C-alpha cells in the first residue's frame, strides 16, 4: 500500500461507545475524531478499522448486520475528512458466545493481532510504518504484537489496566485529534533525523 495506515478501534475510539450497537443512525464520531481524521488524511494517511464484534457470537445481532455499520463508518470518514474507509476488519468470535460456530478461541480477537496481520497481508501494509489507536489496552497489545506504533486514547474506557509485556502504548492521547498531533510530530522528527 503506498499510503501509511492508521488502524482504528471502532467503539470508543473512532465513534462514540454504544455497546453492541449496529444501528447506523446511532453511530456518531467520537469527540475530536473529525479534526484528527482530517489532519491525518491530509498528511497522506489512510484508515482501517479493526474491531471486536462479540455481539455476533453472543447472538445479539447477525454478522450481516455489520455491512451497514461499515457503510456508515465510510460515510462518516468521507463527511469528516474526505477520506474513504480503506477496510473494516472485525472479529465476530467470543469463547463464551451462545452461537456455536462463533463461540471459539481465535487469533483475530484483540488483544491478539490477527486482524492487523490479515490486513497487512491482504493490503501490502508495512506494519512498522503503521499506527494502532485504541481506547483499551487490548487494542494496544494487538498493535504492539503486530509491530505497529501505538496510542491509547484515555477516555475512561480502560477499566482493567492489566499489565503485560505488550500492553504499554508508545503514547497517550485524550482524543483522536491529539493522537493525530502525536503522529504528525513523530513523522516530522523522523524526517528531520533522516535528512
> For 93-142, what is each residue's pLDDT tens digit?
999 999 999 999 999 999 999 999 999 999 999 999 999 999 999 999 99
What pTM value is reported for the model?
0.95
Strands 149-153 and 85-91: unpaired
Span 167-176, average pLDDT? 97
Q: Which of 77, 85, 150, 87 is nearest to 113 (CA)?
A: 150
Beta bridge partners of 46: 5
Span 36-42, average pLDDT? 95
End-to-end CA distance of the chain: 24
23 catalytic? Reply is no
Catalytic residue among 11, 74, 135, 177: 11
Task: Write down the domain spans for the chain.
Answer: 5-194
pLDDT grade, residue 81 (50/70/90)?
confident
Sheet with 149-153, side-by-side order of all strands: 85-91, 46-52, 5-8, 131-134, 149-153, 171-173
Catalytic residue among 9, 74, 138, 139: 9
Class of domain 5-194: alpha beta
9 catalytic? Reply is yes
Span 139-165, average pLDDT? 96
Amino acid at each position: 500500500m503506498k499510503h501509511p495506515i492508521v488502524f482504528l478501534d471502532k467503539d470508543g475510539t473512532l465513534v462514540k461507545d454504544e455497546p453492541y450497537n449496529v444501528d447506523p443512525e446511532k453511530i456518531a464520531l467520537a469527540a475530536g475524531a473529525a479534526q484528527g481524521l482530517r489532519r491525518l488524511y491530509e498528511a497522506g494517511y489512510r484508515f482501517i478499522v479493526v474491531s471486536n464484534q462479540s455481539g455476533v457470537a453472543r447472538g445479539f445481532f447477525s454478522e450481516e448486520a455489520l455491512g451497514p455499520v461499515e457503510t456508515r463508518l465510510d460515510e462518516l470518514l468521507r463527511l469528516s475528512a474526505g477520506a474513504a474507509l480503506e477496510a473494516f476488519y472485525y472479529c465476530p468470535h467470543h469463547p463464551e458466545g451462545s452461537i456455536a460456530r462463533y463461540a471459539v478461541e481465535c487469533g483475530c480477537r484483540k488483544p491478539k493481532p490477527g486482524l492487523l496481520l490479515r490486513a497487512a497481508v491482504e493490503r501490502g501494509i508495512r506494519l512498522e510504518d503503521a499506527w494502532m489507536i485504541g481506547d483499551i489496552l487490548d487494542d494496544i497489545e494487538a498493535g504492539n504484537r503486530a509491530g505497529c506504533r501505538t496510542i491509547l486514547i484515555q477516555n475512561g474506557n480502560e477499566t482493567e489496566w492489566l499489565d503485560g509485556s505488550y500492553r504499554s502504548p508508545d503514547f497517550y492521547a485524550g482524543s483522536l485529534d491529539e493522537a493525530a498531533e502525536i503522529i504528525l510530530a513523530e513523522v516530522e522528527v523522523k524526517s528531520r533525523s533522516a535528512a
